[in-house]
Structure formats: C-alpha cells, structure tokens
Amino acid sequence: MATPCLRVIAALSVGALTAGCPQGPRSGPENFCAGDNLALREQATAMGETLLGAPSSTAGRDSAAPAPRPWLVTTRPGMALPEAGTPTARFESFGVSRFAFLDGATLARLMAHPAVAAIEEDRPRRIRGGALSCDPVLPSGEVEPWFLGVVRASFAWPRTEGGGALIAVLDTGIDNSHPDLASAVMGGVNLSGSGDLTSGADDNGHGTRVASVIAARRNGQGLVGVAPQVRLFSVKTQDSRGEGTVSTMIAGLQWALEHGAHIANISVGAAGASYAELRAVDTATAQGMVLVGAAGNGGDASEGGLNEAEYPASYRNVISVAAVDAANNRAAFSTYNSFVDIAAPGIPIMAANPEAFGGSYLCDSGTSFSAPQVSAVAALLRQSAPGISTDHLRRALVCGAVDATAPGIDSETGYGVVSALFATNFIDSPRECAYLREPAAPFPAGAPDPQPKPPGSPADGYFRFRVQSLQALFISRGDTQGVLLRGQVLTHTGEPLADVQLDVALFNGSGDLAARATLFTDNEGLFLAFASGATCGALHFTIEEALRGGFSFDRGGSITAADFSF
C-alpha cells in the first residue's frame, strides 16, 4: 500500500501577511495568541532565556566586562506595551520604548507576548565624516564652492533658494553663531544625553559643517550653500565624540515630525539594521517627510574599509547618498552596494567651522557632506513645486540624476550624481523612469498560488494541512539576530495537527536564502522556532519539507508561502 502523503493546500486564509511588521495592515485571522497558551508561553520563556538572557543582577559579573546596552521594545501597531517596568523613554509616534535594563525573565516574558513585535539592543550610530581632510583655501568675500556647479544648484535659484522649506539636521548640533548660519537655524534640541541639554549647540563641529553645505547664507562673505534660504532645525542626536544610538535617532525623527520638518538629513550611521529604527523611518515617510542618509565611508579596503551596509541610509525609505570626486568618479572611501540611490560631491568639501573650534572654515571629506547636498536639492524641488508629493519628489531626485561611473543604475553611485537642473526638469515634464525602490509585490513572480485549493476525499491518500496565524518577532542582541516564528498548523477541516515537523526557508526580496528553521507542532498544532540570521527587509516564507509519523511530504500543486516585511 502506498505511503499516505501530507500535502500543503494553503499558505494562510489570505494571500499576503505582514505579521505585525512596521508596514502594511495586519492580515488574516488572529486567533493564535502565544501569550494565552501556557505550553507555548513556557517554550517562549525557555527560548527567551537562551536568546536574550541577561543576568538579573550584577553579582559575580566580571567588573571589566562592558555594561549591557539598553533595550528597545517595539509593539505591534495599535497594541499597548505590556508591563515591563518603567521605560527611560517612550517614542509614542512609533510604538517604541527604551529600557535601561531588563532582566532575563522580563525579556523572556516580553518575547512571548503577542503585543511585542521586536526586542533589540540599542545599537550605536556614529557620524560619517572625516574620511579625508585637506588644507582649506579661506574664501575672500563670498564664494560659491565648486560642488554647487556639479549639482547645478544655481539653475534652481531663479525659482527658489529654498525659503519656506524646513530641514532637520540630525547630527552633533549646529553653531548658530557662525556668520554663515546665524539666520538659518530656527530652533533645536539636544537629545544626545550629554552637554548642554537646553539647546542644539555643536560641541563637535561635524553638524555645523553639514549645515553649512545645506544652508550657508548669502551675506557678502564666506560660503554659499546649495539652498541658501532654507531653514534648519538643529537636532542634536550625537555627543561631543559624534556617538549616538538608534534611540537618539528615533528621538530625533520624532522631534522633527512634531515640529513640522519636511526633510531630515542624517549624516550618521553604522552597520546593523534595527526594527525600531525602521518603524520610525517608515512612519516618518508615511507622514510626508523625505529622509536622506550618508551611505558610509567604508568602501576603501586598503584603508580597512569593510564596505558594510550602513543604517539608517540602507533602509528602503531613506535616500542613500554616495560620494564622488570632482571628476564624478566614486570617492575611494565611499561605501558601495545595492542600497545606494544617488551620489554627490564628497571630496574635498570646504565648510563652516564652529566658533568654539576657531571659527572660519575648514576642509573635510566623506559621504556626510554628500548627503546634505541631496537634502538641499530636495528642499529646492519642494519649494519650486508647491504641493509635490513625497514620492514624486524622490522620483525627481533619482530620475534627474546624471550618470556617473557607469551607464544606468549601479552600486557605486546609484542613479548618478544629483542635479537640481534635471530634477526640476523632471518635475516640469515627467517621463518614464524605473524606480528600483518600489515596494515588493505581495508575492514574487512565479510564486505558487497561495489560495486554498479544494480538499479531496480521504480516499485520495492525502492528509491536507495549512499554516495559519503566522507571526514573526524580530530579535537582535549582540551577535544574535533573527526572526522568531510562531503560528499554528491545522488540517483542512480546521483540526489542530500535532506532532508535525516543518523545515522552512526564508528568502529575501532578491530571492536569496536569508535563513532556515525547523518547526515542531505541539498538541494544539502550535509551533515556535527561531530563524537565525534573518534581518530587516522583505521576507518570503516557504515550506521545504514536512514530516509526520506514517506520512511522506508531497508538495502537490501548492506549497505554503507568505510574505512579510521588517
């Protein structure tokens, strides 16, 4: 007699799944709740102690060991934060809370709670300047820096010099006493946790240099910025050493949103994506803000560069900016990868120096000074076309870019070097332009039909089952990073299917394998497993193998497939 088969007949009761991720509506029935099932909660607690376990006290801890980083807990949209002590900060706009310390038992309890979407350490974020310095040639009278010609800023000035646009500079602060910036800064805040907490003053110098590239005023002396009438918010997220964290980035974005900023310039970053930061980025974008980030300065292997994707620039809703030299070649230090959208001059850049550090001007290089040129051009576009949508503005920036290192889109300069002239022309006369950062389709091309197929009679030798209520929890701590999967396996008649082993794979938006995991169902058909290595981004879930005593696995006409994003 032939061995009976297990056949998957449906992915879910609906076609697509967001599983509590920061984008899109929740899909499908939510009758599975890990926090309401004692057995599963015990499994989650045990797994939590393994994945996230932190000592409940400092007793016996090596005094030389670094202190644990604070935790960020992100809740699912519309759900309240479960009891976990008193957070040191709450970012209500994004559903994120920061805790200075959480013991292992609390972490495990949060991990098992259905309201929690992600638990992660508060990762570092650093300024991206200083790749190469140079001796400045001090301006005599008023000078338009060489990079203004490359980005064709003057072609936009007859329409607007950016007046009315608000750019939040998330950085080390801005010296608003410098003559080039005295009338540019209209407000600020210090969110870095150090220095004078009553203002956004600059105790490093990086933020002032970034600001002058954007908005140095026409005052008969010094430099002129790309958008010399734009207004700035000094949002100090970095301390005097240029150090910050994901939570200071999130705090900066929340402040900028609350104060009406149209554009955020983020010349800050580091390797390692964050679920909480991605939630903040996507929320800010959805509310109409344009976010611009420095791609990073890790592109030169001879100088020890690792060419890692840096965040926030590498998120889909942040315009990632690389650096080019005066010949429009990629600067050797500029990070290059598939996340790069556009480029701008980054070597060498003359900029304002804070009065506290001697005033006047100095020379610096890095993608930190490329990003503000794109932010400034975005401000010129916004003011030249009142009412332009965020999406149209982003398209104009990339579709109006000038090819640089290679024809078409490439990993070194993206769409090319930003151009105020051609971006404005795109707004005036839109044309076809393939924009790669479109949201992925609900199911990749060629994916199997996720809809249920009519069940056959028991006589056909198949035992059909389906996976429902799939949920995903992003977890990050130190070297541990991945996705906790939980859900329920049912027969086609709705009965829980116990004692089934499912070998599953997660693929990213490019179709590359991101992680694998093995799931085991309990007596109620519930499963809980950790897919190590999966990171932020779109993920495609599929079953590769199913095992149950006395049955073999037959894919039949359909396999389980579900998409969700982090």
| Catalytic site positions | 171, 206, 368
- H or E element: which one contains 518? strand 513-520
> Checking DSSP bridges between strand 462-477 and strand 513-520, what pairing results, if any?
unpaired
Dist. CA 457–CA 127, nearest whole Å: 64
In angstroms, the Cα distances linking 4 to 428, 458, 556 are 65, 10, 13
What gap in Å lies between CA 384 and CA 522, rounded to an integer?
61
Element holding 372 (H helix, E strand): helix 371-384
Residue type, 92: E
Distance CA 274, CA 253 (A): 14
* Cis amide linkage into residue 430, ω under 30° from 0: no
Distance in angstroms (rounded) separating the CA atoms of residues 548 and 543: 14
Q: Which of 313, 284, 289 minimizes the C-alpha distance to 125?
A: 313
Q: What is the 3-state secondary structure (H, E, C) of 216-245?
A: CCCCCCEECCCCCCCEEEEEECCCCCCEEE
Cα–Cα separations (whole angstroms), residue 187 to 135, 394, 478:
32, 26, 36
| Two tokens, residue 210 | 């970034």
- Measured CA to CA, the distance from residue 264 to residue 168 in angstroms comes to 5
**What is the spatial distance between Cα 122 and Cα 49, in angstroms, rounded to a whole number?**
19
Please give the structure tokens belonging to residue 419: 């151009």
Dihedral over Cα of 527, 528, 531, 537: its sign = positive
Angstrom CA distances, 271 to 210, 268, 285, stand at 21, 11, 22
330: β partners: 324
- Which sign, positive or negative, has the C-alpha torsion 25, 31, 36, 38? negative
- Tell how strand 268-271 and strand 310-311 pair up: antiparallel
- Angle at the Cα of 280 (from 276 to 282), degrees rounded to 5? 115
Token pair, residue 153, equals 């800023």
**What stretch of H or E contains 376?**
helix 371-384
Helix (H/G/I), strand (E/B), else coil: 7: strand
| Residue 167 bridge partners (DSSP) | 232, 263
Measured distance CA(41)–CA(46) in Å, rounded: 9
